[in-house]
Chains A and B, each alone.
Chain A
Amino acid sequence: MPVEQAADKTVRVPADAELHRRLVYGDESALNEAYAAYGGLVRAVAVRVTSSPAAAEDVAQEVFAQLWSRPYAFDARRGSLRTWLSMIAHRRAVDWVRSEARHRKDARADDSALHAIPDAAPRPDEAVVDRERSLLLHSALAELPRTQREVVHLAYFAGRTYRQAAVELGIPEGTAKTRLRSALRKLAESLADPSDPAPARGA
């Protein structure tokens, strides 16, 4: 396994390292290349989390502004640029949804203070529940250990097969499958209501 890992890294790292080198020294064409390669992924991640193309545009702007102004925040020894950009896009998108939710809550609180009609709140419809569960899930994803997050980002957001993800991460296929499974199970558990201990069948 260490041999496989080393062999793969020599294949993957040079391209990222060379792009990083140019970013560090302020070569604007390097930013264009990074955007051409990963702009679609960054937007796709942000849209999955926010469901808002306009928010995704803002997230993409922040992500690439960070890559440009703080190139040393990316460390090619710790992973690929693809997973790093995907992960910071995800975190920023989660922050965006959280602050949206806070604003909505504040607005509702103001509203109910003004009208003060007890028990008049409408039953939250399915879409609202889904939105809340989605935020819960994405918050949990953002808190997963980095090794598990990387696999989720490659296999889910970046549309890689588990084999491609394993190659990109320099890990055996079995490890990629195991990490993906542990990650999804943890996410599924984060959805389970602790006051309603539904039997985890077959777990």
Chain B
Amino acid sequence: MATDHDGVRELLAAWAVGALLPGDEKAVPLHLAECESCAAEAERLRETVRLLGGPASGPRLNGAGGAAGGVLAAALRARPRVARVAPHAAPYAAAVAGLQALVREMEGRWATPVVHDWNAHATVAHLLAADEPLALRLGLDARVPASPVPGDTPWEDAWNARTADVIAHELTRAPEDTVAAWAAQAAELLATPEALDSVRAAHATTLMGLRLPVADHFLVRAFETWIHTDDLGRALGLPVPPPPEEHLGLLVRLAVRVLQLALSSAPPVLLAMAGAEPDAQWVLGSEDEPVQAELVLDPVDFCLLLGGRYEPDAVPRGATGDEGAVQRVLQTAAAMSWL
């Protein structure tokens, strides 16, 4: 009986490790019985695999779980636990954890250019500055010496001066010190009564020109932290996943509210999020006219557009109806230069 020499020879390695398909299993021994060269090769590979399995009859643990508790408890200690906070602050807590995870990959890469004229170090310094207004408002202390800005300076000028000062200050220190200062401020923010209790976060306050409930300012912090983490990830070639679904939903709703303020008298456009639940749609613009167009965006793209990370023409979208009305929404969103 002539068996298939070439076919079996192809299979010998799979045979040796036990990875054959059920249909192959008969063909191999039949051929080995009549082909000396394949039998020798088979013996050589089988001996190799025997030694891979360890000497003697080492225990084969496939599926044996062992003490999950011990392994997991030890593994969990390898990373600080995400702060347990009220739902409005949970996206910020997660975004902080996400940036801390990315920072562990940045050793030796702090000079990598990121966005604007910032390198990775300056980007984290910028976040230290950007979290500061909320921290100060909630009664925490500044972590960088105060900037001498006259009291009647418009908030944008004051903010630009402050972030420049903070970045300049931080660039004189080690990146690790900047990360530690940013992380400590974030931890303090997440330990405030306003982070732990939604009732305490219900009152509105104006920060960076936006009058919003404190709870929403926590969402703004989450939004900005994520967008800059995404910037860092792109610069380092490490794609940053979007925030967890329920957090992303909260960020989208916040972004819609902010956009609605800017479009209150524009021709109305129905905005819907691709792939989201049916109620994730809103009418942007004047309430007194019929809807002129529909615009469908991916929720991540929508956030990136508002974060200034997309040109209005470049964002992937589905649109029907009046193109001018759609353009107005996209241009307005992109021009908010929110971060």
Contact = CB atoms under 8 A, between A and B. Distances in A.
B60 A44 contact: yes
Interface string A76-91: 0100000000000000
Contact of B101 (A56, A65, A72, A174): A72
Contacts of B244: 21-22, 25, 27
Counting chain A CB atoms within 10 Å of each CB, the highest count among B11, B13, B97, B104 belongs to: B13
Contacts of A184: 13, 16-17, 45, 48-49
B79 A35 contact: no
A133 interface: yes
A158 B56 CA distance: 20
Contact of B19 (A39, A134, A155, A191): A155
By secondary structure, the A interface counts as helix
B199 to A, nearest CB: 26
A156 B66 contact: no
B4 interface: no
User: What is the size category of the interface that chain A forms with chain B?
Assistant: 35 or more
Interface stretch (A3-11, A47-55, A110-118): A47-55
A141 B21 CA distance: 24
Contacts of A161: 14, 19-21
Given A21-B242, A47-B58, A137-B52, A68 B75 contact: yes
Contacts of A169: none
Contacts of B70: 57, 61
A124 B104 CA distance: 45
Contacts of A26: 79, 81-82, 93-94, 97-98, 101
Interface of B: 10-14, 16-21, 36-38, 40-41, 44-45, 47-49, 51-56, 58-68, 70-72, 74-79, 81-82, 93-95, 97-98, 101-102, 104-105, 238-244, 247
Sorted nearest first, the 8 A-B pairs with minimum C-beta distance are A202-B37, A26-B97, A130-B55, A21-B241, A69-B78, A155-B19, A65-B78, A26-B82
9 contacts: A24-B241, A40-B62, A47-B59, A53-B59, A61-B74, A68-B78, A130-B55, A156-B19, A188-B48
